Amino acid sequence: MERRKIGSLEVTVVGLGCNNFGWRIDAKATADVVDAALDAGINFFDTADIYGSGKSEEFLGRALGNRRSGIVLATKFGMKFDEQRTGAKPAYVRQAVEDSLRRLGTDYIDLYQLHTPDASTPIGETLEAMGDLVKAGKVREIGCSNFSASQLRDAESAVNQGDSRFVSVQNHYSMLHREPEAEVLPECARAGVAFIPYFPLANGLLSGKYRRGQPFPAGSRGGDGWGPKIFTDENLAKTEALAKFATSRRHSLLELAISWLASRPAVASIIAGAKTAAQAKVNALASDWQLSDVELAEVARLL
């Protein structure tokens, strides 16, 4: 599989989003997904402390076992874990990383990300604390998530010479949610910041299993509260048109969704989630379609 750079890290263009672990699937199913991802060549695993209230990190660390050194492990902190654990103040940065290291069963994190901006803490203080983790060898690179272009610029301005800077930003991006194209992606290209799209399959809508007028599959995101937000008639119509386009070229809608993201400037790794080993394998193979300029233009028209 193609590999791209996140700072000094080399990651597969398709990674594994681990938000299902400890919430939608148990430890055994997590191990099955991780095994399948590794077998398919994926080396980038992205989780967060709040996923499954810590269980995602625990299950992922357990599933990796002695294969930890062969992968790029990313996690996040800063969203509310409980009443005491939240935000990005330096003292909590130091506590949060120790908590994640313990749950993951490792002594270092490859990419440590601030999950959301913290308006109550100057970004320079957070960056200094995260940089200290790099100097201590507990973290290799630092990144952020849910940052706007102006917040990325503020973070860049707050870095002292020689200190660590954010090498990545992880934001919501898919063929059906293109907000990052306005400002964040251009800023990433300008500053040399890697972009990691989350919800690349639009909560499953771009997986190809949904159709207008048909009930949502059992256990799908369409049926557990996401439907009214994303599974609109307009989006379903777009996915049908995109699916026909992909089929006409002997590809699936899922392959189109991931390969299209892989074609976008600054995108490093597409972290699609998976609940089964089969899903992990399909996702891993989905980036092989090298879309031509003509095909990209046709997709733009359909969107």
Helix (DSSP H) and strand (DSSP E) numbers for the chain:
11, 10
Domain count, the chain: 1
Average pLDDT, the chain: 94
User: Pairing between strand 139-145 and 109-114?
Assistant: parallel
Instruction: Report the pLDDT averaged over residues 81-102.
Output: 96
The DSSP code sequence of 34-63 is HHHHHHTT--EEE--TTGGGGHHHHHHHHH
Please state, in angstroms and rounded to a whole number, the distance separating the CA atoms of residues 6 and 4: 7
CATH number of the CATH domain containing 233? 3.20.20.100
Torsion sign, CA atoms 14, 18, 24, 27? positive
Q: Write out the residue range of the structural domain in which residue 76 sits.
A: 3-302
Rg from Cα positions in the chain: 19
Dihedral of the alpha carbons of 75, 113, 43, 173, in degrees to the nearest 10: 110
Instruction: Report the pLDDT averaged over residues 11-28.
Output: 97
The model's confidence at residue 168, banded by pLDDT at 50, 70 and 90, is very high
DSSP character at residue 160: P
229 or 169, greater pLDDT: 169
What residue has token string 């934001």?
171
Please state, in angstroms and rounded to a whole number, the distance separating the CA atoms of residues 187 and 194: 10
> What integer pLDDT is reported at residue 210 of this predicted model?
67
Angle of helix 123-135 relative to helix 149-158, nearest 10 degrees, comes to: 60
User: Residue 140: which H helix or E strand, with range?
Assistant: strand 139-145
pLDDT tens digits for range 22-59 = 999 999 999 999 999 999 999 999 999 999 999 999 99
Q: Are 75 and 15 in contact (CB under 8 A)?
A: no
pLDDT tens digits for range 59-76 = 999 999 999 999 999 999
pLDDT tens digits for range 209-235 = 766 666 655 555 555 554 557 888 899
> What integer pLDDT is reported at residue 63 of this predicted model?
98
Torsion sign, CA atoms 29, 35, 36, 42? positive
User: Pairing between strand 9-12 and 166-172?
Assistant: unpaired
Question: Which pTM was predicted?
Answer: 0.94
Catalytic residue ranges: 51
Residue 236, pLDDT above cutoff 70: yes
> What integer pLDDT is reported at residue 232 of this predicted model?
87
Residue 269, pLDDT above cutoff 90: yes
Dihedral of the alpha carbons of 110, 115, 119, 125, in degrees to the nearest 10: -10
Please state, in angstroms and rounded to a whole number, the distance separating the CA atoms of residues 250 and 265: 25
Integer CA distances (angstroms), 41 to 2, 45, 52, 271, 272, in order? 10, 12, 25, 14, 14
DSSP character at residue 170: E
User: Pairing between strand 109-114 and 72-77?
Assistant: parallel
What does the H/E/C string look like for 201-270?
Answer: CCCCHHHCCCCCCCCCCCCCHHHCCCHHHHCCHHHHHHHHHHHHHHHHCCCCHHHHHHHHHHCCCCECCE
